[in-house]
Amino acid sequence: MSEWLTTVEFAALVGIGRQVAHRALRRRRWRKNSLEVRKVNGRRGGNAGEQYQVNSTSLPLEYQHRLKVSQTLVENHSKSITGRTAEHTWWLDYLRPALQHPVKSTARTHALAELADNPTRNWEGTAVSYSLRTLQRHAARFDEDMKVGRHGRSDRGKKRVVVSRRWDKLVPFDASTKAKIAEDLKQEIRGLLKGGMSWGHTLQEAEKFLIDATRAWGFRPGDPNVMERACSVPTDLVSAELHFRNVHRFKRDHKAYDDRRPRIRRTVACMQPMELVVGDVHPVDIHLTRPDGTVATARLIGFLDGVRTRSVPSDTLRSNEA
C-alpha cells in the first residue's frame, strides 16, 4: 500500500535532518535510489507554499519495512510496542526474522547468527554491527515483553545521598540515625543563615557541627584527618538554604526586606473621578502672627484627584488650628 510522506516524516523515518531531506526530495534521489516525488500546495512554506512529498513504495526496502513496522502492531509484542521509541522500533524491525521463531529453537539461533557481525545502520543512521551475544540479549528482552532501548534509573527522583557519599560510606550508622544527623545539620545551617552568617562561614560551621554530631553518636576513627575529609559538607547543601537569609534581613534591615517584596501593579482604569484622592500635609516656611502676638508656622494641606490627576482646592492651617 503506497503512502505519501511529507519532508518532515521522511526525515524522521530515515534519520536525517529536515533540510537534508528537502534537498534529497528536490533532487528525487536518496542514496543512489530514485524517488517518486510530487509537489503539493501547502498552507505554509516558501515558494508559494509548494511542498515535496515522497511515495513510500519508492523508498529502499529497508525503510519501507521500517515504516510498516511503525504503523502496525506485531503479534505477541503489543505491550512492548506501546509507547515505542525510534530505537525500540528499529530493534523490533531488525530482530524480526529471529523473533518469529520459538525461544531457544535452532531456527532462532541460526537467524541470530546470520545477523551477528553484519554491518548495518541503526536508528540514527550510524553504521554499526552487533555481536551474537548482544542480539541474544535484546531478543530476550522482547520475549519478556520489555521495552528495548535506553532506560532511566529505577531510583530516579529519589534521594540517594544523605549528607555526602564519603560520609555515608564512612559512618557505620543505620539509615534512621543518618537521617537524624542530616536533619540536625540542615536545621543548624538554617539557624546560622537566619543569624546573618555569610555563606563561607556557614559552610565552615556546618562542617564543625557534622564532626561533633558524628562523634556524639559514638563514631571516632583513629585518623582525625579521615573524619575531617568525610565531614566536608557539600556546597549545594548550604546553597539550598540561602533563602533563610530573609529572616535576618527582616529583623535587621526591614527596608531592604520590603524593597525585595513583589509589588502589586494597580490601575485607575475603572475608577470614577474623586474615587481615589491623595492627601498630603506639608509645612510652609512662612511665619504667621496670631491675634495674641505669638508666631505660628502654617501647614499646607493639599489633595490630588488620582483618577483625573488634577489638584483639588487646598487650604492652609495654622499650627494651633491643625
Residue whose C-alpha cell reads 498552507 in the numeric block: 43
Report whether 2 contacts 55 (CB < 8 A): yes
CA gap 294, 277 in Å, rounded: 34
Q: Please give the pLDDT value at position 75.
A: 43
Grid coordinates of 152: 532511566
- Predicted model pTM: 0.41
Q: Please give the pLDDT value at position 81.
A: 42
Q: Please give the pLDDT value at position 74.
A: 43
**CA-to-CA dists, residue 167 to 204, 207, 231, angstroms:** 16, 11, 6
Query: In which element (H, E) is residue 30 found?
Result: strand 29-30
CA gap 94, 124 in Å, rounded: 14
Report whether 67 contacts 59 (CB < 8 A): yes
Angle (CA) 37 38 44, round 5°? 120
Q: Is the dihedral of CA 102, 103, 106, 111 positive or negative?
A: positive
Q: Please give the pLDDT value at position 316.
A: 58
The span from the first CA to the last CA of the chain, in angstroms, equals: 96
Grid coordinates of 241: 538554604
Grid coordinates of 151: 532506560
Grid coordinates of 103: 525461544
Q: What is the pLDDT of residues 10-19, one digit of tens each?
A: 888 888 888 8
Q: Please give the pLDDT value at position 79.
A: 42
Report residues of the chain scoring pLDDT below 70.
Answer: 1-2, 42-49, 69-85, 144-155, 310-322
Report whether 273 contacts 305 (CB < 8 A): yes
